[in-house]
A and B are shown apart, each in its own frame.
Chain A
Amino acid sequence: MLKEESMGKPEKGRLSSLGRTRLGKRIRRREMWSPKTRRNFRTGILFISLWIIGFLAFNLYPIIASLYYSFTEYHILKPKIWVGLANYALVFQDPLFIKAMSNTIYMIVFGVSLSLILSFSCAVLLNLKIRGQSIYRMIYFLPSIVPTVAATLLFLWVLNPQMGFLHTTLGKIGIVGPDWFKDPVWSKPGLIILNLWGMGQGIVVYLSGLQDVPVSLIEAAELDGASWWQRLRYVTIPMVAPITVFLLIMGVIGMFQYFSQAYVFAAGSGSMGGVLGSPLHSTLFYSVYLWTVGFMQLNLGYASALAWIMFIVIMISTALLLRSSKRWAYY
Chain B
Amino acid sequence: MLARRLYTSITFLVLLSLLVSCAPKTATPTEEAPKPTEAVADPTEEIVSEPPTEEPKLLRVWMSWPESPEQIQAFFDGYTALTGVPIEVNTGVDYMKMIAGISGAEPPDLIVQGDIYSVGMWAMEGMIAPIDDLITKHEIDIDDMYDPPLSQCTYGGFYYCLPWGVDNYALYWNKDMFEEAGLDPDTPPKTMEEMLEFSDILTKTDDNGNLTQVGFIPDFPWFHTDLYLAMYGSTWQSPDGTEVWLDTPEMIATMRWQQEFYTRYGADNVGRFLSAAGNYLGADSGFYTNKIAMLVIGEWQSGPDYLQKFRPDMDYGIAPMPYPEDFPEREATSVLWGTVVMIPSSAVDIDASAKLMAWMMLPGPQVDMMIQLPNLPSSRAAAEDPRFLENEDLALFIEMMNNYNAQTLYVGPVTFDILMAIMEIQEKVFLGGEDPETLLQEADLTIQEKLDGILGQ
User: Measured between C-beta atoms, what is the minimum distance from A46 to chain B in Å?
Assistant: 6
User: Measured between C-beta atoms, what is the minimum distance from B372 to chain A in Å?
Assistant: 27
Contact partners of A271 in chain B: CB under 8 A: 217, 219-223, 274, 277
**Chain B residues bordering chain A, tally (CB within 8 A):** 58
- Does B276 count as interface, using CB distance less than 8 angstroms? yes
Question: Do A77 and B126 have beta carbons less than 8 Å apart?
Answer: yes
Contact partners of B22 in chain A: CB under 8 A: 57, 61
Contact partners of B277 in chain A: CB under 8 A: 270-271
Question: Do B31 and A162 have beta carbons less than 8 Å apart?
Answer: no
Q: Is the interface of B mostly helix, strand, loop or mixed?
A: helix
Q: From the candidates A42, A73, A270, name the one contacting B275 in the complex (CB within 8 A).
A: A270
Question: Do A179 and B125 have beta carbons less than 8 Å apart?
Answer: no
Question: Do A78 and B126 have beta carbons less than 8 Å apart?
Answer: yes
Greatest chain B CB density within 10 A among A76, A80, A163, A268 is at A76
Interface with A: B11-19, B233-241, B383-391, which one? Answer: B11-19
Interface membership of chain B positions 16-47, coded 1 if the CB is closer than 8 angstroms to chain A and 0 otherwise: 00110010001111011110000100000000
- Which B181-230 residues sit within 8 Å CB-CB of chain A? 208, 210, 217, 219-223
Question: Do B26 and A79 have beta carbons less than 8 Å apart?
Answer: yes
- Does B445 count as interface, using CB distance less than 8 angstroms? no
Question: Do B274 and A81 have beta carbons less than 8 Å apart?
Answer: no
Question: Do B126 and A279 have beta carbons less than 8 Å apart?
Answer: no
Question: Do A295 and B121 have beta carbons less than 8 Å apart?
Answer: no
Q: From the candidates B11, B271, B424, B432, name the one contacting A49 in the complex (CB within 8 A).
A: B11
Question: Do B29 and A79 have beta carbons less than 8 Å apart?
Answer: yes
Q: From the candidates B27, B33, B103, name the one contacting A76 in the complex (CB within 8 A).
A: B103
- Does B375 count as interface, using CB distance less than 8 angstroms? no
Interface membership of chain A positions 226-256, coded 1 if the CB is closer than 8 angstroms to chain B and 0 otherwise: 0000000000000000000000000000000
Question: Do B127 and A76 have beta carbons less than 8 Å apart?
Answer: yes
Question: Do B431 and A182 have beta carbons less than 8 Å apart?
Answer: yes
- Which A171-200 residues sit within 8 Å CB-CB of chain B? 176, 179-183
- Does A70 count as interface, using CB distance less than 8 angstroms? no
Closest to A268 in B: B279
User: Measured between C-beta atoms, what is the minimum distance from A188 to chain B in Å?
Assistant: 16
- Which A144-183 residues sit within 8 Å CB-CB of chain B? 160-163, 176, 179-183
Interface membership of chain B positions 84-102, coded 1 if the CB is closer than 8 angstroms to chain A and 0 otherwise: 0000000000011001001
User: Measured between C-beta atoms, what is the minimum distance from B245 to chain A in Å?
Assistant: 21
Contact partners of A268 in chain B: CB under 8 A: 279
Closest to B21 in A: A57
User: Do A274 and B423 contact each other (CB < 8 Å), given the known contacts A5-B1, A61-B19, A77-B126?
Assistant: yes
Question: Do B7 and A179 have beta carbons less than 8 Å apart?
Answer: no
Question: Do B271 and A179 have beta carbons less than 8 Å apart?
Answer: yes
Interface membership of chain A positions 53-89, coded 1 if the CB is closer than 8 angstroms to chain B and 0 otherwise: 1001100010000001000110111111100000000
Contact partners of A163 in chain B: CB under 8 A: 276
Closest to B103 in A: A76
Question: Do A298 and B99 have beta carbons less than 8 Å apart?
Answer: yes
- Which B417-449 residues sit within 8 Å CB-CB of chain A? 417, 420, 423-424, 426-428, 430-432
- Does B168 count as interface, using CB distance less than 8 angstroms? no
A80 to B33, CA, bound (A): 7
A296 to B277, CA, bound (A): 27
A80 to B103, CA, bound (A): 14
The 30 sampled A-B contact pairs (Cβ below 8 Å) are A5-B1, A46-B7, A49-B11, A53-B14, A53-B18, A57-B15, A57-B22, A75-B33, A75-B126, A76-B99, A76-B103, A77-B103, A77-B126, A78-B39, A78-B126, A79-B33, A160-B275, A176-B208, A182-B272, A182-B275, A182-B431, A268-B279, A271-B221, A271-B222, A272-B431, A280-B428, A295-B99, A296-B95, A297-B417, A298-B121
Instruction: Report the 4 A-B pairs with minimum CB-CB distance, sorted nearest first.
Output: A182-B271, A162-B276, A270-B274, A79-B33
- Give A residues with C-beta under 8 Å from B: 5, 42, 45-46, 49, 52-53, 56-57, 61, 68, 72-73, 75-81, 160-163, 176, 179-183, 268-272, 274-275, 278-281, 295-298
Please give 19 more A-B residue pairs, beta carbons under 8 A apart, in addition to A79-B29, A181-B271.
A46-B7, A53-B14, A53-B15, A57-B18, A75-B126, A76-B103, A77-B126, A78-B33, A161-B275, A179-B275, A182-B268, A271-B277, A272-B223, A272-B427, A275-B423, A280-B432, A297-B416, A297-B417, A298-B99
